[in-house]
Amino acid sequence: MGRVQGVGFRYYTKKKAIEFTISGFVQNKPDGSVYIEATGEAIDIETFADWCKQGPSWARVNDFLRNDLPLKEWNRFEIN
């Protein structure tokens, strides 16, 4: 979670998710944070999570919280 709205964070998150064969979604929250649910192979999730902690070079991620949720199956990665 971080204040990343207005810098294309969701677009680049989707691009990275596709690159790492991740499915799920990303969405902006009213408080300015970004929420992501993602599923994929463990190594791909780790690499994706590491990228999300930084985001694109012009984004500033202030905090990153990660929770394990019950497994969901998505067909692709979407921007909500």
Domains observed in the chain: 9-65 (3.30.70.100)
- By the 10 Å C-beta count (0-12 exposed, 13-18 middle, 19+ buried), 77 is classed as buried
Q: Which of 10, 62, 66, 80 is catalytic?
A: 10
Asked if 10 is an active-site residue, the reply is yes
| Residues 38 and 48 sit within 8 Å (Cβ to Cβ) | yes
Look at the block and give the residue holding tokens 């998150």: 13
Asked if 66 is an active-site residue, the reply is no
- The reported pLDDT for the residue numbered 3 is 47
Within 13 A of 48's CA, how many CA atoms are on the CB side?
Answer: 27
pLDDT digits (tens, 9 = 90+) for 29-40: 888 888 999 999
pLDDT digits (tens, 9 = 90+) for 42-53: 999 999 999 999
Q: Which of 3, 28, 60, 76 is catalytic?
A: 28
Task: Say what the pTM is.
Answer: 0.83
pLDDT at residue 18 greater than cutoff 90: yes
pLDDT at residue 17 greater than cutoff 60: yes
pLDDT at residue 1 greater than cutoff 60: no
